[in-house]
Amino acid sequence: MNKFAFLIRCFAFIILIGIFVIAPFSYTWKLALILAQSFLLASILLFIAMILDNRRGGISYMFEFFMLFFIALPATMQISNNTFPWFAVLQPTYICWAFSLLALSQMAYQMGAAFQEFKNSNTISRASSLQLSPKDSLFYSKWAWSLAIVAILFAIIAGPSNLLVARIETVGKSFEGLTLQFMFMCRSLSLLAMVMLLFLIKFTHNPKLRKQNFYAVFLFLLPFMAINYLPALPRFILFGIFLALSTSFVNYFRPKNKAMVAFASIAILFVVFPTIKSLGRGELNLTGAMQRTDTSSITSYLLRVDFDAFMQIVSTVQYFVQNVDPIRYGQNFIGVALFFIPRGIWAGKPIDTGEIVSTGLGYQYTNVSSPLPAEALMGFGIIGPVIIFFLLAFYISKIEWQVKPHKNAIPVASSFFIYAIFMGFIVIIMRGALNGVAPQFATAFLAFFVMQFIKNQKFVSKKRPKR
């Protein structure tokens, strides 16, 4: 399977090289459509290769799913219909150049993953154990309980009435400042806490502690559902949460499981989610539900603002070319790392890249996405996508190697936690804009790294000999 997946990946890589070379010299709508179809083919091949490769897990699945169904497929449909989200008017030149950027990003990602896999193949064994140690079980249990409590406190500060508002009811209602930040943070922490509790229930050897964690899940379930109120969540966030929670029960490294999830994901994206949205608007009936499976309905669905990722990448390329000094020199990524500093304290806190681009191009609506290829381009110039996507793939492959099931050994607990929340938030990270969505994902990552830092410090202090 892995050899076959490698051959498919090589063929896709050749197509990406062709796109990268040809796109900068393409200026017509016909060539733009050919590039779109070529990138779509490469994305389909990479998605299939990822499913067949048992070294690739849930994060890799979500990455390739996003590239195929949120960028490649919508881009092809939008170009063929010459209709783009937000009524944008795009030029074929910038569309073609955008495919060069996308091809470069994908090639860098595949090279980063291949490099890490090569390192893994030369490693004799990885750190593993047959069970979670009592000290680790107790340490992570206390942290899971604490994170759950902090998530509830943040939810109270945000206001239960604000959390329990369906997206359809937010039209004309604005969540600003700290209210919005606390909403994002409590959802992020609640997911990390629940992932940890489910893992501990499954792998804790101590029956008493396992029972305590089971009770903790039972007590936290209702607040968790209130914090992550389903009608209030964007669909891709909702999908990511379900996948993150399922990691304790589903092996996403098995090709058969990934194939089944792929069929389910496609049905959810193109049938279930539109039906839920129609239900929220009071438009749903049996005839309308059946029409969701019609190809013309799916095409119309792909022209909507839900699939504005490609349009924003093209707009970013246009803004980047037309402006004298568009590079942000990493400010957008610094803003993510320091997301927890309020704008009231940090007056110069970086704003969303999507807002900068949309304002610069004169768009009326500026609260838009900014996919990671666009963020990388604006952050560091043309070298940005190479660096960002290579490092992203390298890190993802390293995490997945550490959590892949191996005989009777359990996954490395710390790697499993980051694997699950990464799987839940990778679509948000890919879609952006980074500075706008940072609290939604960075809160959980920050809490995780603080937890691991404290754990490592305790370990070092206990190992250090007394004088």
Question: What are the 10-residue block averages of pLDDT along the chain, 467 residues in total?
Answer: 88 96 94 96 96 91 94 94 88 95 97 89 60 86 95 90 68 57 88 94 89 94 89 77 88 92 86 65 52 65 85 94 84 86 81 88 81 94 95 93 76 88 90 81 89 80 56
Is residue 116 within 8 Å of 404, Cβ to Cβ?
A: no
Neighbouring CB atoms inside 10 A of 138's CB total 15
Contacts 24+ apart (CB under 8 A), 440-445: 440/184, 440/187, 440/188, 440/237, 441/188, 442/188, 442/336, 442/337, 442/339, 442/340, 443/184, 443/185, 443/188, 443/189, 443/339, 443/340, 444/188, 444/189, 444/191, 444/192, 445/418, 445/421
- Indicate whether 262 belongs to any domain: yes
**Is residue 163 one of the residues assigned to a domain?**
no
CB atoms within 10 A of CB 381: 14
Contact 228, 382 (CB under 8 A): no
Residue 167 lies in a domain: no
* The two three-digit tokens of residue 322, written as one number: 């037309």
Quick one: pLDDT at residue 387? 96
Q: Measured in whole angstroms, how far is the alpha carbon of residue 275 from the centre of its chain?
A: 23
- Judge whether 246 lies within some domain: no
**Phi/psi of residue 306, each to 5°?**
-60, -25
How far apart, in Å, are the Cα atoms of 301 and each of 49, 88, 285, 297? 27, 16, 18, 6
Whether residue 393 has a cis bond before it, omega within 30° of 0: no
pLDDT of residue 203: 87
- What tens digit of pLDDT does each residue of 117-133 get? 888 777 655 555 556 78
In contact, 190 and 151? CB cutoff 8 Å: yes
SS (H, E, C) 92-105: HHHHHHHHHHHHHH
Please tell me the predicted confidence (pLDDT) of residue 281.
Answer: 53
User: DSSP code of 129?
Assistant: B
pLDDT, position 133: 83
What region, left, alpha or beta, does residue 165 occupy, with left being phi > 0 and alpha being psi -120 to 50 degrees? beta
- For 227, 243, 392, 418, 460, the CA distances from 141, given in Å and listed in that order, are 21, 22, 29, 16, 20
How are the residues of the chain apportioned to helix, strand and coil, as percentages rounded to the nearest 5? 75, 0, 25
Q: Look at residue 292 and tell me if it is in a domain.
A: yes
Rounded CA-CA distance 333/37 in Å is 32
User: Is 220 domain-assigned?
Assistant: no
The answer to the question of residue 26 being in a domain is yes
Domain that holds residue 290: 2-126+253-460
Contact 26, 6 (CB under 8 A): no
Q: How far apart are CA 440 and CA 25, in angstroms?
A: 39
**By the 8 A CB rule, do 415 and 399 touch?**
yes
Task: Output the six-digit token pair for 225.
Answer: 């559902």
DSSP per position, 14-80: HHHHHHHHHGGG--SHHHHHHHHHHHHHHHHHHHHHHHH-TT--HHHHHHHHHIIIIIIHHHHHHHH
pLDDT of amino acid 173: 47
Instruction: Give phi and psi for 406, each to the nearest 5.
Output: -135, 105
Number of domains in the chain: 1
Whether residue 158 lies inside any domain: the answer is no
Q: Which residues of 440-464 are buried (b: 16+ CB within 10 A; e: fewer)?
A: bbbbbbbbbeebeeebeeeeeeeee
Please give the Cα distance from 213 to 209 (Å, whole number): 6
pTM of the model: 0.88
CB atoms within 10 A of CB 230: 10
